[in-house]
Amino acid sequence: MEKALIAFAAALCVVAGCITGLMEGKVAITAVDNVGKNPDAADKIQSMAIIGAAISETCAIYCLLVAFLIIFILGA
Partner 1 sequence: MLGLQVTTLFSILVITAVIIIFLVFVNRKLTRFDPMDEPKGIVLLMMVAVQMIDGMVRDKTNDKVAKYLTPYILSVALYIFLANIAGLFSLDTPTSNYSVTLVLAAVTCVLIEVYSAKAKGSKAYIKGWFEPFAPFVVLNIFSKLSTLLSLSLRLFGNILSGGILMSVIYQMLASVSKMIPLIGDFNILGVMVAPVLHFYFDLFSGLMQAFIFITLSISFIGKELPKEE
Interface residue list for partner 1 (CB under 8 A) = 47, 50-51, 54-55, 57-58, 61-62, 64-65, 68, 72
Residue type, 2: E
Residues in the chain: 76
- In the complex with partner 1, the residue whose CB is nearer, 17 or 34, is 17
- In the complex with partner 1, the residue whose CB is nearer, 11 or 65, is 65
Per DSSP, helices labelled H in the chain are 2-14, 16-37, 42-69
- In the complex with partner 1, the residue whose CB is nearer, 1 or 56, is 56
